[in-house]
Structure 1
């Protein structure tokens, strides 16, 4: 009876180690870019007129990899979460981003204070900064780490209108 239990435990450990190695295929450091192509942004003024609690901005962008090949979609939303920002403050916003890639999905999240009230939910681009990796599926199911989002020049080496880079640093 003890031998069967030990054998089963060893089989589980070996199986989970092999599964972990396969899951790590999509992890490490890599960069994706968003383009001006196939971008849709919508704004919902969910609270009082102007920037207020409950305002939501949602969007979707096409992604390309470092070689300029299609790499998936980036879907995101930002919600105003500060019911009464103090005088001189822009309040707080919750950002969530979903990177839908061929080998799985990566979810990022951040709470931040926008640089301006318009940036909170009414501008068409999310503030640059560091985002936590909070979930994933497929090759990214056990992903941990962060993503740095940055605005870049309008035209990259490929000549396409690049708007943002997303530099991932993941461990799985």
Structure 2
């Protein structure tokens, strides 16, 4: 009887003694045919417990005695209800944790955005100051060159004294520092 490749693979999976061997066999199977797409199952939708019954059966009347199965019925009903309440509490806790997480993430993003905006504004202010310095520096240079020309003209005329320059120490004007 001819054995197919699928039969061999199933037999190898059955022979696997450990989970490691089983995964090794499955991985080898995947590696043999790389072009074949692998089916990755979607995560199953989480189902909650059944809703509580609208009508409770087997209600014992006031004149009736408890039967032999009544306790077991009561116990199962109580267990189902407790499981349902536990599930609801877990869902509530999970939703609260998700909300807190989203709040923390949004707060961190808001703070990061504020820091970014603050640093951007600081960079722009620094850039503007540099532009103003360059502009004022060029203006001073043109004024200085104009004043130097006028000073040289005035020196020749002797009409106005030359502007005082500061000393290397910066405490006194250079003319006074040179007099000492």
Q: Which has the higher strand share?
A: 1
Same fold per TM (> 0.5)?
no
Instruction: Point out the structure with max Rg over C-alpha.
Output: 2
Query: TM bucket by the smaller chain?
Result: under 0.3
- TM (normalized to structure 1)? 0.21
Bigger relative contact order, structure 1 or 2 (CA pairs below 8 A, ≥6 apart):
1
